[in-house]
Amino acid sequence: MALYIFLPIILIILILLLSCIKVVPQANAYVIEFLGSYKSTWEHGLHLKIPFVERIAGKISLKEQVCDFAPSNVITKDNVSMKIDTVVYFKIFDPRLYTYGVDRPISALENLNATTLRNIIGGMELDQTLTSRDIINSQMQQILDIATDAWGIKVTRVELKNIIPPAEIQNAMEKQMKAEREKRQTILEAEAHKESVVARAEGDKQARILAAEAERDAQIARAQGRAQSIMLVYQAEADGLRALKEAQIDDAVLKLKGIEALKDVSDGRATKIYMPTDLSGVISSLGLLSESIGIGDATPIDRSPRPTQAPAADPCCDEPERTPETVRMKKEEQRRQMSVPVRRPES
């Protein structure tokens, strides 16, 4: 009978003892209160809680946490309203301060983040805000870290996730960006055209230089060839004269050469022919003297151009009436007609 009475009591005591045994996980901490006041902070491991007088006031994670807050409305120095979305990275370094330092620490951190962001952006213009993200991030991290030390929070990093300017500002920025791209394109095209023109001019210059050098080399080669040919001619003449001198030519050979020269002279155009003999030398001297003083038969020299034989008429190509004979006959007929007197009719 007594067993049935004490058995439930023993079970209740065992359940209470088991419920008082706590295991704290890694990277966590438990804040323990004794009769409503802070007693201690449990680290990771096995712990035993005194029933009814101790309680766990808070279970705190010591890992780095990320809070993505809602976009905040801010106004720049040049009165441009925009929305900025921020992300805050933080760790809890003191569970006791985190538990008792501020009510709802995450909400407090969000409000502090919004007010700090408005203060920093309020001192910047729009262009500076869009291009100074690193400066804004570092300033916010320093300010939030100092302000949250009393809450047991260590702010490790702050990032501007997104900057949303008004629609008209976005349109103006797009137009400006388009104009900048067109400007760069125009500059690049102009530089490419300039380089192509310069390259073409350089190519023309090199071509002219090469052509001039080739013409110079050709003229030098022609001049050298002409000089060499002249030298060879005079050398051949000198060799011929030297050979004649060494051959010791007699009078018979000289007379034969004179007759050959006379053949070229007596081509029918000269009025006097001088014979290369002793008698003819005396006669020719007298004839030259008579012509010089204006006596004797001083026949004038025929200096008219030599007659050239007209080409024979081609019966296939030339017309009959255009031959020299037909032309001459036609002219004689015209003269006869003009010489016949014209008779006037009698009245």
**Mean pLDDT throughout 235-241?**
82
70 or 8: which carries more pLDDT confidence?
A: 70
What is the reported pLDDT for 209?
A: 92
Among 185-189, 192-196, 338-342, the minimum mean pLDDT is found in 338-342
pLDDT of 316 over the 50 cut:
no
CA distance 88 to 50: 38
What is the reported pLDDT for 13?
A: 79
What is the reported pLDDT for 289?
A: 43
What is the reported pLDDT for 86?
A: 92
pLDDT band of residue 177 (cuts 50, 70, 90) is confident
Percent residues over pLDDT 90 in the chain: 32
Any idea what DSSP says for residue 346? P
- Strands (DSSP E) found in 81-128: 81-92
pLDDT band of residue 1 (cuts 50, 70, 90) is low
Q: How far out from the chain centre does Cα 295 lie?
A: 94
3-state SS of 300-339? CCCCCCCCCCCCCCCCCCCCHHHCHHHHHHHHHHHHHHHH
pLDDT band of residue 268 (cuts 50, 70, 90) is low
What is the reported pLDDT for 166?
A: 83
Neighbours of 225 (CB within 10 A): 10
pLDDT of 159 over the 70 cut:
yes
For 104, phi then psi, to 5°, come to 50, 75
**Mean pLDDT throughout 124-148?**
90
CA distance 110 to 322: 122
pLDDT of 217 over the 50 cut:
yes
What is the biggest distance separating any 2 CA atoms in the chain, rounded to whole angstroms? Answer: 203
Is 264 in a helix, a strand, or coil? helix
What is the reported pLDDT for 282?
A: 42
228 or 293: which carries more pLDDT confidence?
A: 228
pLDDT band of residue 313 (cuts 50, 70, 90) is low
Among 136-140, 163-167, 242-246, the minimum mean pLDDT is found in 242-246
Token duo for residue 84: 């900025």
- What average pLDDT does the structure give for the chain? 79
What is the reported pLDDT for 346?
A: 47
Token duo for residue 280: 């003819």
121 or 284: which carries more pLDDT confidence?
A: 121
pLDDT of 214 over the 80 cut:
yes
4 or 146: which carries more pLDDT confidence?
A: 146
pTM above 0.75, yes or no: no
Burial class (CB in 10 A: 0-12, 13-18, 19+), 117: buried
Evaluate the CA torsion angle 138, 144, 148, 153 in order and state its sign. Answer: negative
**Mean pLDDT throughout 90-99?**
92
Q: Are 31 and 95 in contact (CB under 8 A)?
A: yes
- Which residues are CB-neighbours of 89 under 8 A, at least 6 positions away? 64, 65, 66, 155, 156, 157, 158, 159
What are the pLDDT digits (tens) for 275-304? Answer: 555 445 544 544 544 444 454 454 555 556
